């Protein structure tokens, strides 16, 4: 691969997408050089554009998920939409959709319909609960899926459950759709055959709760809820230093536990106390252990505590706010920030985490319908056919 060539240069993606899951998958394809044409509703566009106005008047969700894409605003039920959609499909290598139940079939965008005309096409459908089965017709939102997979029952404190603070079901589905598309593109290069891909939010997140699922099936009980403490490893959680700062550290094995007792607690005999001699015993006596550790660590300020943990070779982290994360020395020290254009001016955005030796595409976040006229002309449709408000 030449240094200037992005891995997916020449790949064309058509996406009928909204919200998070499909846009996350296609943005990552765009990061790697794919051309992504995003079909939106005239006027309002993807409804994620209206989630908030926190980024120079634009939605934080939308600017995160939609840079480097081309926005085509068209009513797919109109004469123009019906003429345009088959041509867009014809020119695409990959077709992605996360429309509501049954909508893709009504538009002729099922994998069977598209690949019946061209077996080389890669068709990606992101659903809530699967395209068949007892819940195929139910709507799915991220928090609903967090609840149904048991994730919410694992998160929070003993007094109350809590959701995960990001759209984890959507993100999981988007990641699997992205990786499956890459695999399908590779297979097509080898065999010439496309693929029909389906990823559901429920099944994506079900995979991510695999460890507590195995634990529950094996132990006959599910892990408890302990806030920011690990449910099945101790000590592993946040503790407050004398200056009020909170540090989270993690004991992963018995040598670390012995070093922690020696170097940090200055109590080496605690490592062999019968209550704490193994991880299972430490978890069983969590409250007693936390009382001892909290009292000892409260005698040190955060700087001294970090030096003790470093000397003991115990992993730790500051419990940052998001604002503190934005100023993280790793992000600045590794040059992770770039500038991305939007209709309201430039914003900062993080480089994607995949490093393939070439700078990822960090193109503009499109306004609704920014590319409608250009794409129509490219397809041989007269831009004069556009209603005056189509891209507004």
252 within 8 A of 261, measured Cβ to Cβ: no
* Distances from the Cα of 331 to the Cα of 325, 336, 377, angstroms: 9, 5, 42
Whole-number Å distance between alpha carbons of 335 and 339: 12
26 within 8 A of 106, measured Cβ to Cβ: no
Closest CA to 63 of 45, 49, 73: 49
Break the chain down into helix, strand, coil percent, rounded to 5: 40, 15, 45
Q: Check 6, 18, 230, 371 and give the catalytic one.
A: 230
Q: At what angle do helices 201-208 and 168-191 cross, to 10 degrees?
A: 100
Pair of tokens at residue 4: 């200037």
Q: Is position 230 annotated as part of the catalytic site?
A: yes
What residues contact residue 37 under an 8 Å CB cut-off, 6+ apart?
12, 13, 14, 15, 69, 70, 72, 88, 92, 371, 375
Residue 177 has a CB neighbour count (10 Å cut-off) of 26
* Distances from the Cα of 200 to the Cα of 14, 155, 170, 179, angstroms: 19, 22, 9, 14
- Residues marked as catalytic: 230
């Amino acid at each position: 691969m030449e240094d200037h060539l992005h891995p997916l240069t020449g790949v064309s993606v058509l996406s009928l997408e909204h919200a998070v899951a499909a846009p996350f998958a296609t943005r990552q394809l765009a990061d790697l050089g794919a051309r992504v044409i995003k079909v939106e509703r005239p006027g309002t566009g993807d409804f994620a554009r209206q989630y908030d106005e926190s980024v120079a008047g634009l939605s934080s969700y939308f600017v995160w998920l939609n840079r480097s894409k081309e926005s085509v605003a068209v009513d797919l039920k109109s004469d123009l939409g019906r003429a345009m959609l088959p041509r867009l499909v014809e020119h695409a290598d990959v077709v992605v959709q996360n429309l509501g139940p049954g909508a893709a079939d009504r538009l002729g965008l099922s994998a069977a319909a598209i690949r019946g005309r061209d077996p080389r096409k890669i068709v990606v459908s992101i659903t809530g609960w699967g395209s068949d089965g007892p819940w195929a017709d139910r709507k799915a939102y991220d928090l609903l899926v967090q609840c149904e997979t048991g994730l919410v029952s694992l998160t929070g404190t003993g007094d109350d459950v809590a959701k995960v603070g990001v759209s984890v079901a959507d993100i999981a589905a988007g990641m699997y759709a992205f990786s499956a598309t890459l695999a399908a593109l590779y297979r097509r290069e080898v065999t010439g055959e496309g693929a029909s891909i389906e990823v559901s939010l429920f099944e994506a997140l079900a995979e991510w709760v695999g460890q507590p699922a195995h634990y529950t099936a094996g132990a006959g009980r599910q892990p408890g809820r302990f806030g920011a403490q690990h449910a099945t490893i101790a000590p592993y959680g946040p503790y407050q230093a004398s200056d009020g700062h909170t540090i989270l550290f993690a004991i992963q094995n018995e040598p670390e536990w012995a070093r922690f007792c020696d170097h940090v607690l200055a109590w080496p005999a605690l490592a062999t106390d019968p209550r704490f001699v193994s991880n299972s015993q430490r978890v069983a006596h969590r409250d007693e252990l936390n009382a001892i550790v909290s009292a000892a660590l409260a005698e040190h300020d955060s700087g001294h505590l970090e030096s003790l943990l470093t000397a003991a070779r115990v992993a730790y982290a500051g419990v940052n706010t998001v604002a503190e994360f934005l100023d993280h020395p790793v992000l600045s020290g590794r040059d992770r920030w770039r500038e991305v254009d939007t209709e309201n001016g430039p914003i900062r955005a993080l480089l994607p985490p995949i490093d393939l030796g070439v700078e990822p595409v960090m193109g503009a976040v499109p306004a609704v319908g920014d590319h409608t006229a250009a794409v129509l002309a490219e397809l041989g449709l007269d831009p004069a056919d556009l209603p005056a408000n189509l891209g507004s």
